[in-house]
Amino acid sequence: MKLSKEQELILEKASGLKQKEILKINACAGSGKTTMLRHIALANPTSSFLYLAFNKAIAQKSAKVFPKNVEVKTLHALAYAFAKKHLGSFKLISNLKIFDIAHLFKDNRAEYLNAVLKEYKNFLKSDKNGTPYKEVATLYEAMLNNEMPITHDFYLKHYSLANQKDELNQYDYILLDEAQDSNSVMLSIFLNNTCKKILVGDTFQNIYGFNQTINALEKVKADFSLNLSTNYRSTQEILDYADSFLDAYSTKERVKMHSHLNEEAKIESTAFITRTNAGLIELINMLLEEKEDLESFALLKEPDSIFRLLFDIFSFRANRFEFISKENAFLKNFDSMFELRSYASYDAELSLALNLSEKNYDFKALKKLALKLYKNDKANIFLINTHLSKGLEWDKVILYNDFVKLRDLKAKIKEEKDREERAKKEFELEQELNLFYVAITRARFYLEDGSGN
């Protein structure tokens, strides 16, 4: 493969890095970020590399393409191994609810416990070594002493505070992929060592802001900053369409994308991309009602993750608490739908599920169909939401109608007088724009935009 001028410059800078120096690569969608990092590793065969992947799926995929001088891991895998070694056996839960922590405090008011939980989660994702809040310290100590289940964020923070830089210093280079979706504690681990550092990502693919991610490409001061602006996935028409929204709704500096797609247009794969789980359920409902040829369709999101909360709400309404899943056991703490709806004002996912539960759908039939469609090997038409679509591509993409209207958000920002509320709306616009950009740039040859944007 002949490298582009941008790639050659990156390779030259990467190979010449000194200890502790940082190279930052802002790479557009479809620019071959992993391929670029692979070329850097191949060009430096006597150097050792630690490639930090965004998640387990990316790690498994990347491990197959990197040369032997690259060790592929996730930060969570490093931290989890450390926790197993130093904390012994522990119970792991995916997310804390106020009912998981209530036994530690005398004040059991929902407002108080929600405030405590918010501060605790902020601390776990921060680069701070301590906290001024005794409640946060109480929670941290309870997890550390195995008095309650621990979370993924906890063992990552525990690894960060343990300052295991010697483990990282054994490598010549550390490569951080998907740098736009880091958080402060991840970044502190990445930076706190003597290695040569390369971080790569796409500013406009930061789509996990709801999980308090930060864009390391904007936060980190690098010795060298370079761009990858050539897209090898999509037609120029699709890239221009994506760029038009970045022009209209973002003030961030960027290099415009250029297509280098050397293939004849074809449609061998199609994806319907939604913004929400509710959108996926509506698409499945359409298939059920229209009796489409189902062998052509596949659902790429695990059905239980789409329907579990919804069915647990039905069990709650029917007072059949024994059928509520362990993941949503917190529902058992409420005495009425009124109480549940009041609590939902703190929980966007729950609020969305409650609204969906009031639609006149045959949800049992929908769940049955979803299970049938899940990862159908014969399919060439796929149903997926935007967050899961990241990193994937299809010949044709159809955007569903549940995306947020960007112009409406922009209008609300102009009308907002309160500085704090305006900042919240600006952040929301940034996240929704990024989601829309990700969805558009999954398309290779054809794009149908039903979003109304």
pLDDT in tens, the chain (453 residues): 689 999 999 999 999 999 999 999 999 999 999 999 999 999 999 999 999 987 888 888 889 999 999 999 999 999 999 999 999 889 998 888 888 899 999 998 888 999 999 999 999 998 898 888 999 999 999 999 999 999 999 999 999 998 877 889 999 999 999 999 888 888 999 999 999 999 999 999 999 887 778 899 999 999 999 999 999 999 999 999 999 999 999 999 899 999 999 889 999 999 999 998 888 999 999 999 887 678 999 999 999 999 999 999 999 999 999 999 988 888 998 989 999 988 887 776 788 789 889 888 999 999 999 999 998 999 999 999 999 999 899 999 999 999 989 999 999 999 999 999 999 999 999 999 999 999 999 999 999 999 999
| 53 in a structural domain | yes
Q: Are residues 327 and 224 in the same domain?
A: no
Q: Which domain holds residue 154?
A: 1-92+150-228
Dist CA 362 CA 376 (whole Å):
22
Q: Are residues 301 and 210 in the same domain?
A: no
Alpha helices in 24-74 (DSSP H): 33-43, 56-63
Q: Are residues 342 and 417 in the same domain?
A: yes
Dist CA 2 CA 327 (whole Å):
50
Q: How many domains does the chain have?
A: 2
Dist CA 53 CA 73 (whole Å):
6
Alpha helices in 44-164 (DSSP H): 56-63, 75-87, 98-101, 110-124, 134-144, 152-162
| 291 in a structural domain | yes
Contacts 24+ apart (CB under 8 A), 306-314: 306/277, 306/280, 306/281, 306/370, 307/281, 307/363, 307/366, 307/367, 307/370, 309/349, 309/350, 309/353, 310/353, 310/356, 310/357, 310/363, 311/363, 311/367, 313/340, 313/353, 313/354, 313/357, 314/357, 314/363
Structure tokens at 96: 């804390």
Query: Of the candidates 277, 287, 286, which has an alpha carbon nearest to the alpha carbon of residue 307?
Result: 277
From 228, 256, 281, the end of a domain falls on: 228
Dist CA 219 CA 107 (whole Å):
38
Residue that is written with structure tokens 């929400």 in the block:
276
Chain centre to alpha carbon of residue 264: 32
| 432 in a structural domain | yes
Q: Are residues 156 and 220 in the same domain?
A: yes
DSSP state, residue 65: T
SS3 382: strand
Q: Are 257 and 242 in contact (CB under 8 A)?
A: yes
| 409 in a structural domain | yes
Position 293 scores a pLDDT of 78
| 114 in a structural domain | no
Alpha helices in 291-347 (DSSP H): 303-317, 337-344
CATH code at position 15: 3.40.50.300
Tally of CB atoms within 10 A around 84: 12
Q: Are residues 298 and 205 in the same domain?
A: no
Q: What angle do CA 295, 389, 26 make, to 5 degrees?
A: 155
From 173, 205, 228, the end of a domain falls on: 228
H helix count then E strand count, the chain: 20, 13
Q: Are residues 185 and 276 in the same domain?
A: no
| 76 in a structural domain | yes
Q: Are residues 414 and 343 in the same domain?
A: yes
From 202, 228, 254, the end of a domain falls on: 228
SS3 265: coil
Q: Are residues 198 and 308 in the same domain?
A: no
Q: Are residues 322 and 220 in the same domain?
A: no
| 303 in a structural domain | yes
Q: Are residues 292 and 407 in the same domain?
A: yes
CA distances from 317 to 99, 225, 293, 326, 357 (A): 20, 55, 35, 17, 10
Q: Are residues 282 and 387 in the same domain?
A: yes
| 133 in a structural domain | no
Q: Are residues 60 and 179 in the same domain?
A: yes
Q: Are 2 and 205 in contact (CB under 8 A)?
A: no
